[in-house]
Amino acid sequence: MFHTGLRSGTAVRTEEQADEAELYFQRCRWCRNTTFQRLLCPTCGSTDLVPELSEGEGVISVRRGTTAAEADLWPVHMAEGFVVRCRVDGPLHAVRPGVRVKLAGAGSSGRRPVVRLCEEVPLDGWI
């Protein structure tokens, strides 16, 4: 399958490339705070937000009021300081606040970013 006509340079990617896990966040040019998919800086109200590429590492944060449809969605506190709701790919009993995760897939075309647990999770102790 060839993509012709639309290619400009090497920046063109297909949306289904799951191994290209890139997550962009925004850093306020004024107060240097980080945020995610906002129009205004939540701290100072500036619209001067500059996109930056995340390292993709974070820690699962506490969530509240989750519906069954969102059972695998958790707020993840990324190393850069912003929080983004991600789909966590891992054994349910191991997914809890405080667990370190790493970006596994970017949330393109309206989907949530996907993260994986950093540590290998032992499955024993549950028998």
Find the shortest distance in angstroms from Cβ 32 to Zn ion: 7
**Which C-beta is closer to Zn ion: that of 33 or that of 108?**
33
**Which C-beta is closer to Zn ion: that of 38 or that of 63?**
38
**Which C-beta is closer to Zn ion: that of 31 or that of 62?**
31
**Which C-beta is closer to Zn ion: that of 45 or that of 97?**
45
Find the shortest distance in angstroms from Cβ 89 to Zn ion: 32
Find the shortest distance in angstroms from Cβ 46 to Zn ion: 5
Find the shortest distance in angstroms from Cβ 23 to Zn ion: 20
The 10 Å Cβ neighbour count of residue 25 is: 21
Distance spanning both ends of the chain, measured CA to CA: 49
Round the CA-based radius of gyration of the chain to a whole number and report it: 17
Whole-angstrom CA distances from 103 to 4, 37, 39, 43, 107 are 31, 17, 23, 26, 10
Query: What pairs with residue 102 in β-bridges?
Result: 57, 116
Residues in contact with Zn ion by CB under 5 A are 28, 30-31, 33, 41, 43-44, 46
